[in-house]
Amino acid sequence: MLLESLLAYAHISAILLLAVFLTAKTALMRVDVIAGRKSVLDRLMTLDLWLWASFAAVLATGVARMAWGVKGWAWYAGNPLLWGKVVLFAVMVAMALPQTRTLRRWNLRRVQDDFFPDAEDIRAQRVWLMWQAHVMVVVPLLGALLAYGY
């Protein structure tokens, strides 16, 4: 039972890390915060790396719970709630890919010609982040239902 508790703790901690880095990135992705500040674009890139590390941690700890948890792989794999979580998680990852590409493009252009994104580009990226956050809200609900045997 200790192993199950530690696996649950690790998975929940990874999800909280994901929420923290997604929130931090969203908070900084504002026109008035970015405007002319190289340090903010650098920080956004760092947060993006941490966000991807959090995605990896959520996936790794989720697979660990399935493999070594009390309920076992077969129980989880046969539950449609798990696949709902997986689909929503995959949607979040897919939504993060264009974000990362855009941030990298901004930073490459900034290094080359002192570029800063215009207000409309920043707002568009913030909308993507907000959509990710809204999708993420449903994942723990499915996780709670899954944990309690639904």
Query: b/e map of 27-63 (b: 16 or more CB within 10 Å)?
Result: ebbeeeebeeeeebbebbeebbebbbebbebbbebbe
Summarize pLDDT for 35-46 with one digit per residue, the tens: 888 889 999 999
* pTM score of the predicted model: 0.90
pLDDT at 91: 97
Average pLDDT over residues 20-45: 93
| pLDDT for 133 | 95
